[in-house]
Chains A and B, each alone.
Chain A
């Protein structure tokens, strides 16, 4: 060119590296794909310091074990102790589940987690007409103290921690557990564990409820107050996003609705006359770990930060333990496919890794066969081994919150916090969580997300291996063994119950039920009455019938 000859130095264009990259992106060809998170949130192709404007290390992150706990609730994180490997199990009779519990403990599991069948979850005895066909199917059937004693037979209740996934009838199942401990010679003060006891998300997503919302919330504060005095090591509630997510919500909705529910329980506890620091340290949480690795890690971090800020700044909690979200995580059941089920092992491993990098306190990993039936022993073992591989072989556990400072992860954490805050405003506008449930607002939001995701999969915008891409012969039967529940379980439960009703002191049982009815009409703590009724061999259905009669049942709003 002629002008090179006349100028001594080449001309330098004053364009910075960011601009060069932006132009390159604009003119480049990119794949024909949807570049969004699994929740449909926008994903930029690159995250830089420009995405973290106003970011303040001390205010937004801090240090592990310190406010706002973005980086984890313990100063040492997994150097102190690993997460609890807690596989959810329960099926058939109490005897069968007791055997599975012992199997899992023997394989190195460190805590128990109980799945109940639908009749138990809904407060019906195994021999109730509505229990037909459901007894022992998705969990263990527990209709009385005697079933609980069989379930915990030979398991040292003073040493093991037990989580019970039950909500509507949670106070009664906890009463059975306490009574069972007493009969094993273990004082309530020594018992460790969790009842899920989160009724709000039942109305919103999981749908195993017992009674109307207001009295159900009163029973929850009864549990909080009772345990604060008598069972101090018990987690009185596990505020759960898992079921909200599984019902179809986005990550931001899971975060927002779960924390909104949590704040509602805190308000109720305070309104019942308790000091926030008296019960808040025993609140625990439960989240889903889905496939979108970075969105999930960011969700866990955002959860800790939001909760800490709310508890300290809005609810005036002074005890740092009240500021901390301690949570259990389960990998996403909805992400598993019936097609090519072995691939589920891989999905679960990725989700479990996200939970660990997100700083979970305990973890359940799903088994590969769960879209087909209850897990077989072999599948359950592989699921547990997946956690053990992460803990022992990957060396990811040495550093707390290892992804902090990533522009992307910090920007995602901020985004999720902002989206959750926007939902808190929407819920407030509707008068709070309970009116939002009665109006069907939260249920409709979840349903809408579920339909949008399904549409994205069917249109091929979101890919699922084995379902809409890399599909194999659709009619090929899976080559995995299925775990079936023997129909004899239902028959045997009927016999056990008939026998119990014949044997027990009928007068004493009837008078315990009268006492419960009486207590429902006052503001006496119902937990006292439930423990006493448990010892008198009152059945779950009998106690729940009294509650249904006294308090009325929850009516499902029609969101359709």
Chain B
């Protein structure tokens, strides 16, 4: 099980050009031994879901600092579902208020990270959540 590598898609939906956070997280996740695919900027929800499918990822992490998260995050989720990718672990971060986080958590974004979150915390959360999931999958098999 420890041999299995977590595959993560780091995505930048929308027109927002702020990619410092996304690229930093991508570098950190890679340092943690995950396989990281970075979408590049200016992606539509369709493009992100399509890449997630092609790359067969376990995790999709979205970064938005433009305030468009309440529109675009749910759209990415819908597009993933359309492609039979509802099982991926959804997360993300950016300038997102606590209230918005709460609302998005009902839509499948169980955990979102705000400014100042240590990147280690994010990496560890992905690691432990995925390990938990895989353990449960094995038990149920």
- Which residues of A does B touch, CB under 8 Å? 118-119, 121-122, 124, 129-134, 137-138, 202, 206-208, 246-248, 334, 337-339, 371-374, 447, 450-451, 454, 458, 464, 466-468, 477, 482, 485, 556, 558, 560
Contacts and interface: CB of A to CB of B under 8 A. Distances in A.
B115 A134 contact: no
B119 A477 contact: no
Contacts of B26: 560
Given A207-B17, A207-B19, A454-B24, A482 B97 contact: yes
Interface in B5-53: 14-20, 23-24, 26-28, 38, 40-42, 44
17 contacts: A118-B16, A121-B17, A131-B15, A132-B71, A132-B72, A134-B16, A134-B68, A138-B67, A206-B17, A207-B41, A208-B15, A248-B24, A447-B24, A450-B24, A458-B119, A485-B67, A556-B40
B93 to A, nearest CB: 11
Contact of B118 (A129, A246, A373, A458): A458
Contacts of B118: 458, 468
Contacts of B16: 118, 134, 138
Most buried by A among B14, B67, B120: B67
A451 B24 contact: yes
B96 to A, nearest CB: 9
A248 B23 CA distance: 11
Nearest to A475: B98
B113 to A, nearest CB: 11
Contact of A138 (B66, B98, B119, B120): B66
A400 to B, nearest CB: 35
A482 B97 CA distance: 8
Main secondary structure of the interface of B (DSSP, over half): loop
A133 B70 contact: yes
Given A133-B70, A247-B20, A451 B14 contact: no
B95 interface: yes
Interface in B121-136: none
Contacts of A246: 20
A372 B16 CA distance: 16
A292 to B, nearest CB: 18
B138 to A, nearest CB: 32
Given A373-B97, A458-B120, A338 B24 contact: no
B44 A130 contact: yes
Given A371-B95, A467-B116, A558-B40, A134 B15 contact: yes
A338 B20 contact: no
Contacts of B68: 118, 132-134, 137
Contacts of A485: 67
Contact of B97 (A121, A248, A334, A372): A372
Contacts of A451: 24, 27-28
Contacts of B84: none
A438 B63 CA distance: 24
Given A246-B20, A372-B97, A560-B38, A454 B119 contact: yes
B15 A372 contact: no
Contacts of B40: 556, 558
A338 B65 CA distance: 13
A373 to B, nearest CB: 7
A338 B41 contact: no
A121 to B, nearest CB: 7
A464 B23 CA distance: 21
Nearest to B71: A133
A560 B23 contact: yes
Contacts of B114: 338
B87 to A, nearest CB: 25
A118 B20 contact: no
B116 A337 contact: yes
A40 B24 CA distance: 18
A118 B66 contact: yes
Contacts of B95: 371-373
Nearest to B38: A560
Contact of B15 (A118, A338, A466): A118
A161 B48 CA distance: 42
Nearest to A447: B23
B47 to A, nearest CB: 11
A248 B18 CA distance: 11
A458 B116 CA distance: 10
Contacts of A450: 20, 23-24
B24 A208 contact: no
B5 to A, nearest CB: 17
B41 to A, nearest CB: 5
Nearest to B26: A560
Contacts of A464: 116
A468 B120 CA distance: 13
A122 B23 contact: no
A119 to B, nearest CB: 6
Contacts of B75: 132-133
A67 to B, nearest CB: 37
Nearest to A122: B15
